[in-house]
Each structure stands twice: as C-alpha cells, then as structure tokens.
Amino acid sequence: MMYVVGVDLGGRRLPRGCGADGEVLFSEQIPTLNRDGGDAILRATAALVGRLMRRAAGAGIDVVRVGVGSAGVIDAVNGEVVSATDAILGWAGTGLTAGLAQLLGLPRGSVSAVNDVHAHALGEAWRGAAAGSSSSLMVAFGTGVGGSFVLDGAPVLGHHYVGGHVGHFASPYAYHEGKALPCVCGGSGHVEAIASGPAIHESFVRFGGSPRSRTLVRCLPWCTTEIVPIRPTVRPPSKPSGRRGCCGQAIGGLVNILDPETVVVSGVWRMREIFGGNPWNVPCARSSWPRLPTFPCFARR
C-alpha cells in the first residue's frame, strides 16, 4: 500500500495529514505564516511534513510521496506558483515542489503540487460527495472563492493553469452605491469581492459592525441578504450587506456552461447557519438553464 503526506496550504491555515487509500492516519495543523513570504512558508511546511514523516516511520509506515494543494495559480507541471493574491504575501514565483523537495531531502519528482481547490475537488471525486460522477463542479468559499471542474477523474487546469478561479468573474451583486467592490486580485466587481470571508467581514463593517468585533456572523443566504450577529448582545448593522443569492447566481451560471453531473459546495463557513432560511440553491436553480431535465445534486460539505 502507498502512503503519502497531503498538505493543504491555504490563506490562513496549513493542515497536513499522512494517509493511505483516503484514510487519514496522522494530522497536524499550523498557521500558514501568510505575511512572512514564500521562503518562511516553505521552511515551516517542510518542518511539519518532516515531523509527520517521522511519526509515520515510527509506526512502520514508509511515505513515498508528498502532495500539496496550494492557494494561487499553480503550474502543476513545474510545481511553481505562477501568481497569487495578497492573501499570501510573496507567494508568487515560489518554486514550491523544488523548494520542499530540497528542504526534505527528497527527489524532486516525489513532491507534487496543484491549486488547493483542484486538490479538494479531486478528493471529492475520488472518495467524497462526487464519487462515481463522470463530471463534477466544486465551488469552495473561504479566505477566497475557488472552484474546480473535474472531468473523467482529472481537473481541468487550463492552458495557463487558471482554470477554476471562479471567484474572479463578474458578479452583478459585487457593487456598493453604484461602485464595483475591489477584489484582492486587483480587479473589481468579482464574486470574491462579496462572497469571501474577508469580503463578508468588510460588508459587516461597512454597514455598521465594529471592525474589532470577534462576533461570528451569518450570511443569509450565500451571499448576502444581510449580516447579523449570532450573539444577540451585539448591535446588528443598520443596513443589509448586499443582494440575495450572489453565490447561487454565480454557480447557476457555471452549471449552464459546464453541465456537471454533480455540484459540490464547500468551505469553512458554518453550513447549518448559512444554509438556514432561504437556501442559496434557490437562486442557483433560477439562474441555471431552465430546460435541464434534472438539476444536479448538491452535497453540503
């Protein structure tokens, strides 16, 4: 049996695990050090991967490969970060697989990298909500908004490896007082500018919430008809934070283009609170091609 270490290198957290056949045997997590630059992230990643490999060796397990799912545009052939937003400073241009292999003392070919949402989508297609589907669309909401279209077991990466960056196309809801909301990619009016975690917090502040509040907020429905504190002791914002269903509308448009067998929506948000009330899949269904015989099955992860 082949054992590997998987690394999820996102904008805030850096979880890693060692497993086989889809089962996680060991796992650890550290902050991403997203303000410290590419070299610091590589060193921290290598240190933690090394610890996991030593734990595995102590259990008689031989780890043969390391796989990385990383934020940013990842050249999956050369293992380099082609570009990245400011969610991880200094990440663009990093030699991800070569750097990790050198720090770990492994052959370069034993370390692979792909965009983090592509990696997530592959996992869902292999062992998760999309298992058995010939095609699946993954959309993930978190620090950013990412996506991946998996066809016949492989993600569609695109010629320049930017396939799946669904957070960076225009949304009619990403406006405030007639002006397009700025996006971390340098553009404006994008889905990520209203639907990512930082964007939801910015809306909370823009409409009266305290920037120092540590209150969890919920968004009804994805995103955003309003943002209200979960704890009733905090005064709610005086205005709604945006238009209903921007996420559902965006996913519905992607369904029209890609026609997936299965759609998986994922992310770090607390799904029970977010999906309560008027679910986001209602505007999604309204935005999709009306003559579809059956709407794709959605799995909440």
Let me know: does 41 contact 32? Beta carbons within 8 Å: yes
Out of 20-29, 31-40, 280-289, least confident range: 280-289
Q: pTM for the complete prediction?
A: 0.81
Q: Which residue has the tokens 């404006």?
A: 188
pLDDT score at 225:
35
Domains and CATH numbers, the chain: 3-115 (3.30.420.40), 128-301 (3.30.420.40)
By residue count, the chain amounts to: 301
Give residue 185's pLDDT band: very low, low, confident or very high (50, 70, 90).
Answer: confident
Name the burial class of residue 90, with classes exposed (0-12), middle (13-18) and buried (19+) by CB atoms within 10 angstroms of its CB.
Answer: middle
Please give the pLDDT value at position 43: 96
Q: Average pLDDT, stretch 190-195?
A: 90
User: Of 41 and 252, which is predicted with more confidence?
Assistant: 41
Cβ atoms of 245 and 280 closer than 8 Å: yes
Over residues 68-95, the pLDDT tens digits come to 999 899 999 999 999 998 878 999 999 9
Q: What's the gap between Cα 106 and its chain centre?
A: 28
Name the residue with tokens 């796989």.
Answer: 67
How far is residue 77 CA from its own chain's centroid? 21
Q: Closest by alpha carbon to 94, among 106, 104, 108, 80?
A: 80
Alpha carbon distance 124, 149 (integer Å): 11
| pLDDT of the residue at 180 | 96
Q: How far is CA 267 from the centre of its chain?
A: 6
* Percentage of residues of the chain with pLDDT beyond 70: 75
Asked if residue 155 lies in contact with residue 164, where contact means CB atoms within 8 angstroms, the answer is: yes
Tell me the C-alpha distance between 248 and 244, whole Å. 9
Higher pLDDT, residue 222 or 94: 94
* Section 228-244 average pLDDT: 40
- Six-digit token string for 127: 């062992």
Question: Over 60: is that where the pLDDT of 247 sits?
Answer: yes
DSSP state string for the chain = --EEEEEEE-SSEEEEEEEETTEEEEEEEEE--TTS-HHHHHHHHHHHHHHHHHHHHHTT--EEEEEEEESSEEETTTTEEEE--TTSTT-TT-BHHHHHHHHHT--GGGEEEEEHHHHHHHHHHHHSTTTT-SEEEEEEESSSEEEEEEETTEE---TTS-TT-GGGSB-TT-EETTEEPB-TTS-BSBTHHHHSHHHHHHHHHHTT--TT----EEESTTTTS-EEESSTTSPPPSS--S-TTHHHHHHHHHHHHH--SEEEEEESS-HHHHHSSS-THHHHHHHS-TT-SSPPEEEE-
Q: Are 129 and 139 in contact (CB under 8 A)?
A: no
Predicted confidence at residue 268, as pLDDT, reads 58
Residue 156 has pLDDT above 50, yes or no: yes
Q: Please state the φ and ψ torsions of residue 159, each to the nearest 5 degrees.
A: -60, -35
